[in-house]
Structure 1
Amino acid sequence: MTKTTMVSGAPRLLCMLFGLLTLPQAHAQIGPTPTIRIGVSGPFTGGSGSLGESMRNGIRLAVDEINSIGGINGQKFELIERDDEAKVELGAKIADDMVKQHVTAVIGIANTGVGLASIDAYQQAHLPLMVAVSTGTALTKKFAPPNAPENYIFRISPTLDLEARTLVAELKRRKLSKVALLADTTAYGDAGTKAFKAESLAGGVGLASEDRFKIGDTDMLAQIKRAMATDAQALVVWGIGPELAVIARNKETAGWKVPTLGSWVYSSRNFIDGAGKAGEGVMMPQTFIQELGSTSKNGFLLAYRRAFKTDLIASPMSAAQGYDGMHLLYRAIRQANSGDGSKIREALENLTSRYQGVITSYAKPFSKVDHDAITQNMLWIGRVTNGRIDYANSEDQRKSALLRLKGE
């Protein structure tokens, strides 16, 4: 595990940095250390590596922009990065280490199981955590009032409940009333299954079958054939990593032509590249879609390409959420004018400055009782098209330039 510094040479995005420059100036050092230390915990290797790497790049890009204008009162930000490898026990150890390191705040967490094993340490230490990728609903609910007087867990990614509701709405839009459900045996798969079953019941979508698979499985043809034997009109899958690509290839081999929908992770490169043509047409909820040809029009994408020498982001949604989440943390620390976790938590719950981010325009994204910044109106349905993620519905693409605000 290594300690890293920020990316150098990222462009100063005038439209985004203007918002930074107009914030009130701090009048004191945030903490006793020369830098403001921010912990970053995520899977930078392994099956979830594309999610964690993209998230980290978004965070690094945001920190580089913040440091380019002097940080807070000349005190710059430093990232303390740890690879949790998507392993529950390692994630818990990293959380304990972040507390001992006396970081000011933490951002990251891509896997629900890792998050569930980590949040107790952050909560007990009064150390604010910004969940940037994981969608496990329980992460921000466990310590929400009245379960605890104060909640130190915040999130910039959508919840599983929102994902499931969006998928059910898309199924109904396409007049698909009976589906086969397939999920992995991780905590994420458990939570996704629970959320989808609840939303499908409420939305009038029936389950023709329900089956599971394990992380590391390399052949799910048996599960596919069991689902094919039912009257399912679509396949819905909840999983992470390369197993999604195996399922797509098995489905193609079996000749099953029904649509496939599933969790947002379907948008990552390890699925798209691993599935090849078998992945074409798969649909998933997204907060951010990297439109083809849009690099010259979107400051974030242009900055990402220049900083990391690529315009093909492994997980665009993870990168955008990491970027926005870091900027929101910056604003809270600046507003609190303190490195004290309680004051930063209070600032996050009462942010006074609007932030025009990549995903949306954030105006009071959090409150004391609501620590989830993303609402259903901020989700699109994406579709794998020619090896990239595009809008599944043309009307969504037409509306993509419109602001999607919380509460609307």
Structure 2
Amino acid sequence: MSPDMNGIVLVLNAGSSSLKFAAFAATPAGPEARYAGQVEGIGAAPHFVAKDACGERLADRRWEGAEAPANHAAALAVIIDWLETALQGAPVIALGHRVVHGGPDFAAPVLIDLHVMAELQDLVPLAPLHQPHNLAGIAAAAKHFRGVPQVACFDTAFHRSQAREAQAFALPRRFFDQGILRYGFHGLSYEYISRALAAEDPALGAGRLVVAHLGNGASLCAIEGGRSRASTMGFTALDGVPMGTRCGQIDPGVLLHMLGTMGMTLPEVTKLLYSESGLKGLSGISQDVREIEAAGIEAAEQALEHFAFRVRREIGALAASIGGIDALVFTAGIGENARALRARICRGLEFLGIALDPARNEANAGDISAAGAPVRVLVRRTDEERMIAEHTLHLVAAPRGPAA
């Protein structure tokens, strides 16, 4: 029997030391945002924040000592305790989870059962810094919401529409058959942006887009007709452009040299690539673009210029993969807010028909392209949580056999 559609869809996004949530009311028109927030600093200095749909802060709590939530299950208990009061008795009818890696088989959101959990556990080696925490969030939710359907929504699923040549590495075919291929990530963000643009402007939504999801994690995607055609991230979330602390694309020979000649261990190289590189490593200051821009030193300038160069290069490559470009879309934390860095990125892309209006860019307008420019340059806020809520509501509302 389909659940009562007058309840709440709760979206959970579990990170390594955080648990984000968003609560949506299930309505005939789709999910309506009610509350959002997170517990960050799990295991260290936990901090709980909750806001309403207008962004007004409703809760702000920090802990010290033994009372602090020490794991994801305890963090979820904090969120649930707050929501029980905020929701005033409205039932949670479904839970949606962001799961980073869906492997080659999960090309769409799926209802979670024991079989699905076992398959997702098998994918942990493909995303060791993300997948375990996603699964921990699911397990914790299952204990608190017994019998409530849970849905896994995958960051990789949107990219399964790519052709084999876009997904394959130039390795013997047996490796592709074993699941070693370019999966791509940030798919929920790209799906949301693609759908939102299609609703706003159907012709543009059906056209050729390059979307730059630039945040602490960063990637770009070529989208044609609403479908992913190529992306910068590959087998893991390390590939592509530099990120906050991740290196992005690197010659694999460098890794062989580190592991061989330099005698570095695998854990040391893993820590270097995931946690000590990117903007943080290049600048020697921070992974935060605001702090780097304010530093005023040569290393900071070089870090920003390198980031802009790599993003600019990928925009050109992705445009080539879909035979041109109708719009460039900036989204996520850096893409939506870093005005000066957006200008750096677009400088030199005039050959593609890309030109910025400096005043509109500085004002953070939705369309920052210069008047008459052949290619539109847009700034759009992404909403992965809403995308998850939509998928979850669709799955749990779908008929699943005779009523009980």
Using the size of structure 1 for normalisation, the TM-score is 0.33
Larger RCO (CA within 8 A; separation ≥ 6):
1
Q: Which has the higher strand share?
A: 2
